[in-house]
Amino acid sequence: MSRLSRILIALASLSLLLTYLYPLWRIELTAPQYPEGLVMLIHINGLGGDFDVINGLNHYIGMATMHTEDFIEFKILPYIIAFSVVFGLLTALIGKRGLLFAFVGYMILFGIVAMVDFYMWEYDYGHNLDPTAPIQVPGMSYQPPLIGYKLLLNFGAFSIPDIGGWSFVFCDLLLVTAAFLEWKKMRILKNTTAVSLAGCMLLSITLSSCSVEPQNIILGKDQCQHCKMLIMDNRFGSEIILKTGKAIKFDDLICMDQFVDNGKIELSKVHTFYVVDYITGELFPETVAYFAGNGTIRSPMGGNIAAFKNENQRIEIMNNLGAVKVERNPERMIGGEQDIASRE
């Protein structure tokens, strides 16, 4: 992580120490008989302010009295906050983004759980009323607002975070800012890496274009570039390998011929023409192939020409299938004249 992110995380963590000095929350009550108001303060380890007076007033409307020892939260909260401070400082010290994202997730989850717990606490005290209370208003509940203002009989209740609570908000803002900066940095690095890899791949293709190899034809998946049919018979397939390494695949020699004759590809861009050996299914350069056609040879699109890497195998197929020798024009083949001359 960057130095700025580490500083933000350290400040966020240290800000939580304010919760040991100041209340987390305050609930203020105002009424004509209490013009100066009453305040209940919620610290990390107990209740403070005028909660004894508030307990006395709540007795008249049937609300249960509140005592610090009734809440397990006050016993464990100091340790949770201490753990959070240590977690944050270690994250800043180690400087791993994974720890930062984990810390942000932990703090957000802690905040949600804390607010849900606080709401349930308010709900329980505001709704579970003593049926023998001196003052009873049918259908009335006395749950204070989670945040904001609410009128309860002749009392106005105002609920808001105190300094300790705002320190949590400040902490989360700093952590989210640090996480955003690191996420943005990761995106930039990722894009830069992608561009670099693309450049390396392009350079690799350019440097290795003289040794480009054919690509296997996948039956039932690859499509003939000319007739758009799926290639289903590997005995008659063919390929044009471009100098960029791209493979253009066909299901019949006649499809490759028509594709070239129709000007769909510039010969200057072609590296090698490949055909499939009728016997072995192996791709090899067209310039060293022997061809036989017709008879009972039937190719997918009616070209009815088979390629052979071995002359003896061509002769055997010609005898067995009543095929005849086929001479293909080598002029369009890359290096064709030289290869055929060396073959013969």
Helix (H) or strand (E) holding 149, with range, is: strand 148-152
Contact yes or no for 10/92 (Cβ under 8 A)? yes
Give the domain extent around 66.
3-188
Please state the rounded mean pLDDT for residues 8-37.
92
Same domain, 98 and 174: yes
Q: Which residues of 255-288 are buried (b: 16+ CB within 10 A; e: fewer)?
A: bbbbbbeeeeeeeeebbbbbbbbbbeeebbbbbb
Same domain, 134 and 266: no
Same domain, 22 and 103: yes
Q: What angle do CA 166, 170, 173 make, to 5 degrees?
A: 140
The residue ranking higher by pLDDT, 209 or 63, is 63
pLDDT of 83 over the 70 cut: yes
Q: Which candidate, 114, 155, 134, places its Cα nearest to that of 32?
A: 155
User: Is there a domain that residue 339 lies in?
Assistant: yes
Strand order in the sheet with 155-161: 47-49, 34-42, 25-31, 155-161, 148-152
Q: Rounded to the nearest 5°, which phi and psi values hold at 41? A: -105, 140
Please state the rounded mean pLDDT for residues 4-29.
94
User: Is there a domain that residue 228 lies in?
Assistant: no
Domain boundary residue among 134, 153, 188? 188
Whether pTM > 0.85 for this model: the answer is no
pLDDT at 115: 92
Burial class (CB in 10 A: 0-12, 13-18, 19+), 34: middle
Same domain, 179 and 252: no
pLDDT digits (tens, 9 = 90+) for 86-126: 999 999 999 999 999 999 999 999 999 999 998 998 898 88
Domain count of the chain?
A: 2
Same domain, 20 and 136: yes
Contact yes or no for 99/90 (Cβ under 8 A)? yes
Model confidence band, residue 336 (pLDDT cutoffs 50, 70, 90)? very low
Contact yes or no for 135/61 (Cβ under 8 A)? yes
Distance CA 307, CA 83 (A): 75
DSSP 180-235: HHHHHHHHHHHHHHHHHHHHHHHHHHHHTGGG-------TTTSB-TTT-PBP--GG
User: Is there a domain that residue 220 lies in?
Assistant: no
pLDDT at 70: 84
Contact yes or no for 178/170 (Cβ under 8 A)? no
From residue 197, alpha-carbon distances to 190, 203, 206, 213 in Å are 10, 10, 14, 22
User: Is there a domain that residue 207 lies in?
Assistant: no
